[in-house]
């Protein structure tokens, strides 16, 4: 008889992150520690695998107000409470015994069961919470509907049980990520009118524009209810309630459903990095304990944002936040999330005043392991719910592994924002003369990312459009936009701005390794900043809108930029999964300010020189013929039209490069222009 050999599992010498980046070797113990922490917490929450994370993240099905076959049931987690009443339209806002909740035995949960006649759809209500030494009216933490009274400006929860539930027309949907082209948007300010727009208006008026422009994903800001409109949705009060400013939950569902029917994925800008300080509307002091949801002591408040910081070390807080992720996916069919403020979550310092110049800065003991664990679990949960889901981290410090696979020791995000790129463009436009722009620096910056992590590249987002900052078009043209943006009236400043606006977008979008993002209106050079109604501007909506009339008016220059953006996306999508193709540099010359590179069958050529055009400028490429598929200098896009784009370009044989299978492609490249060619 021969002995049977037992195969032993051999663990790899290094965890995946380290195998792919040897410079992380000194920090492998920390990386493994973070990974093991997440595994341990997952196992604890799932009872060693007896349930799933999806099962665990079901708090919204238990807490809050629910209609049942026997009537109504209300539950709240409130450890510090001594008494809780529901008060509202149904009992004249008085504390009465039938509406008094009871503490569930041996728990920190409160429960109230009521007959069906006790309340009705549309009734306003709140909790009146008592605790040792105080009491107050509060909006329940898990409520799904919050409305504001127009006269008093007071927020209340609202009983929401429509007689006819929404029926989804598109029951299943799979996002197109080849590549992911994101249109970042805000429902309220998406309208031309000086008022708050609605979900319905967005579906009817804006969604068709997005579809026509070629984007395949919308990223919606400010969905979670927030008391102050001017916070842009980043000071959240009610995490499970879609903002009622824009309409009803059913109207939000109808918008998402319509987007899916037209092939558009919908992701939500989710805010789990902090919460509004408000006590009457938010979680700040729900039941007399300001630390119920938030860190105590010095870590309680965010020093820069005037907000409160979640205690990610508490299982009940994890339950709340993970359930929140599941709720938006299951109830509203969101396709994923862009997580806001991830840098703030990662570090005790919130990343404030830190340089992050070497790997040691990410592993020196100032990281919040609880927050890292939460973000990792959130990604595991979201992809357990939907394997095709999209998760994006807004993170500026450059933390390694953020968008790496969980099994490699990463956080599990699908993408991270390439936040270096808009900073680079701002700095370049502000500080360098046009003749000093270096193609080598531009090329390096737009490709500056970790090889094992996918990114979302962008020139500018909503951040650059806010009052106090400037969009790219405004940095380039400034006040001349008001006087020289009519066709035939353009001055040299306007011509320069139009040309560079297109070139900046093309070099950024064509070098993606994941996806590309644009904030609504920036594609056509929206001329004004964003300023929400506030005391300082007389509560005006003048700058809290998008002037679509400008791009629709073909007597103005805006449509040139919008038309170019549409064609640029069409060309990028013509190369199958362009984000996965190799970016091969063909040539750069900083003296000439010329850059050329290829991706698949596409060749991109840029001349950043403000005053020098070149004839018969040559690059070595694969032999064959090439046709122009996009030219920033085309008259269709407000250019000079100096080149004949109908000409097919044939390569020129050179015996010196026979073994390399290369020939010369020679082009006329006008100053301050870019051209894209496709191999036939």
Active-site amino acid positions: 340, 394
3-class secondary structure for 200-244? HHHHHHHHHHHHHHCCCEEEEECCEECCCHHHCCCCCCEEEEECH
* CA separation for the pair 530, 343 (Å, rounded): 24
Please report, to the nearest 10 degrees, the dihedral formed by the alpha carbons of residues 355, 359, 361, 364 taken in order.
180
* CA separation for the pair 519, 218 (Å, rounded): 10
Q: Can the peptide bond before residue 572 be classed as cis, meaning omega within 30 degrees of 0?
A: no
Element (H, E) at 180: strand 180-186
* CA separation for the pair 458, 518 (Å, rounded): 6
163-168: long-range contacts at Cβ-Cβ below 8 A with a sequence spacing of 24 or more? 163/121, 166/249, 166/250, 166/253, 166/254, 166/257, 168/253, 168/257, 168/333
Residues in the chain: 680
In this structure, the strands spanning 515-519 and 455-457 are parallel
* CA separation for the pair 326, 335 (Å, rounded): 11
- Bridge partners, 11 (sequence order): none
Tokens, residue 100: 């008094």
* CA separation for the pair 82, 635 (Å, rounded): 72
Residue at token pair 């011509």: 495
Tokens, residue 473: 């078009």
Q: Are residues 468 and 232 in contact, defined by beta-carbon separation less than 8 angstroms?
A: no
> Residue 50 carries which DSSP code?
T
> CA nearest 359: which of 32, 31, 23?
23
Q: Is the dihedral of CA 59, 64, 65, 70 positive or negative?
A: positive
Q: Are residues 578 and 600 in contact, defined by beta-carbon separation less than 8 angstroms?
A: yes
Element (H, E) at 157: strand 155-158
* CA separation for the pair 256, 559 (Å, rounded): 27
* CA separation for the pair 579, 456 (Å, rounded): 10
Q: In 10 A of CB 258, how many CB atoms?
A: 20
> Residue 679 carries which DSSP code?
E
Residue at token pair 């508490």: 314
The two most distant CA atoms of the chain are separated, in Å, by 96
CA angle 268–273–279, rounded 5-degree value = 100
């Amino acid at each position: 008889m021969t002995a049977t050999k037992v195969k032993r599992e051999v663990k790899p010498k290094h965890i995946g992150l380290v195998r792919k980046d040897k410079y992380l070797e000194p920090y492998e113990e920390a990386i493994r520690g973070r990974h093991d922490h997440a595994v341990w917490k997952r196992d604890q929450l799932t009872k060693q695998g007896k349930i799933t994370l999806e099962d665990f993240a079901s708090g919204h099905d238990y807490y809050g107000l629910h209609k049942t076959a026997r009537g109504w049931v209300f539950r709240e987690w409130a450890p510090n409470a001594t008494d809780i009443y529901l008060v509202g339209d149904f009992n004249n806002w008085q504390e009465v015994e039938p509406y008094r909740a009871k503490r569930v035995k041996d728990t920190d949960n409160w429960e109230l069961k009521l007959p069906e006649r006790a309340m009705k759809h549309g009734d306003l209500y709140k909790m009146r919470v008592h605790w040792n030494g105080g009491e107050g009216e509060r909006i329940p933490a898990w409520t799904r509907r919050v409305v504001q009274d127009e006269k008093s400006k007071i927020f209340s929860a609202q009983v929401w049980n429509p007689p006819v539930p929404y029926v989804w027309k598109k029951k299943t949907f799979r996002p197109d990520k080849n590549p992911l082209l994101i249109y970042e948007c805000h429902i309220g300010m998406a309208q031309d009118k000086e008022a708050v727009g609605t979900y319905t208006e967005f579906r009817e008026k804006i969604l068709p524009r997005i579809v026509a422009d070629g984007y395949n994903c919308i990223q919606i800001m400010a969905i979670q209810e927030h008391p102050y409109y001017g916070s842009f949705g980043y000071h959240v009060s009610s995490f499970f309630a879609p903002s009622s400013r824009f309409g009803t939950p059913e109207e939000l569902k109808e918008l998402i459903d319509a987007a899916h029917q037209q092939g558009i994925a919908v992701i939500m800008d989710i805010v789990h990095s902090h919460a509004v300080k408000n006590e009457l509307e938010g979680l700040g002091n729900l039941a007399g304990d300001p630390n119920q949801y938030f860190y105590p002591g010095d870590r309680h408040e965010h020093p820069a944002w005037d907000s409160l910081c979640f205690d990610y070390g508490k299982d009940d807080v994890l339950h709340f936040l993970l359930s929140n992720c599941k709720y938006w996916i299951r109830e509203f069919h969101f396709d994923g999330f862009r997580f806001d403020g991830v840098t703030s979550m990662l570090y005790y310092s919130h990343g404030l005043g830190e340089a992050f110049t070497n790997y040691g800065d990410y592993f020196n003991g100032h990281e919040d392991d609880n927050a890292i664990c939460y973000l990792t679990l959130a990604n595991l949960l979201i992809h357990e719910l939907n394997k095709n889901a999209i998760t994006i981290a807004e993170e500026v410090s450059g933390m390694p592994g953020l968008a790496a696979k969980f099994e490699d020791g990463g956080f599990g995000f699908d993408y991270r924002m390439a936040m270096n790129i808009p900073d680079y463009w701002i700095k370049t436009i502000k500080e360098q003369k046009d003749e000093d722009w270096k193609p080598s620096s531009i090329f390096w910056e737009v490709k500056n990312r970790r090889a094992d992590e996918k990114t979302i590249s962008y020139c500018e987002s909503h951040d650059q459009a806010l009052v106090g900052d400037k969009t790219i078009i405004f940095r380039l043209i400034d006040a001349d936009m008001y006087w020289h943006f009519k066709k035939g009236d353009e001055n040299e400043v306007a011509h320069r701005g139009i040309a560079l606006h297109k070139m900046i977008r093309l070099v950024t979008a064509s070098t993606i390794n994941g996806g590309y993002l644009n904030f609504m209106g920036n594609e056509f050079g929206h001329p004004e900043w964003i300023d929400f109604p506030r005391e300082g501007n007389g509560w005006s909506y003048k700058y809290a809108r998008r002037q679509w009339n400008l791009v629709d008016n073909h007597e103005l220059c805006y449509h040139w930029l919008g038309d170019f953006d549409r064609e640029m996306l069409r060309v990028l999508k013509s190369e199958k999964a362009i984000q996965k193709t190799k970016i091969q540099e063909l040539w750069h010359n900083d003296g000439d300010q010329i850059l050329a590179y290829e991706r698949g069958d596409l060749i991109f050529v840029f001349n950043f020189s403000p005053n020098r055009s070149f004839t018969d400028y040559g690059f070595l490429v694969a032999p064959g013929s090439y046709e122009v598929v996009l030219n920033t200098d085309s008259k269709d896009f407000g250019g000079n039209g100096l080149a004949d784009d109908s000409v097919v370009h044939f390569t020129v044989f050179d015996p010196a490069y026979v073994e390399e299978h290369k020939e010369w492609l020679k082009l006329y490249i006008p100053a301050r222009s870019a051209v894209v060619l496709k191999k036939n």
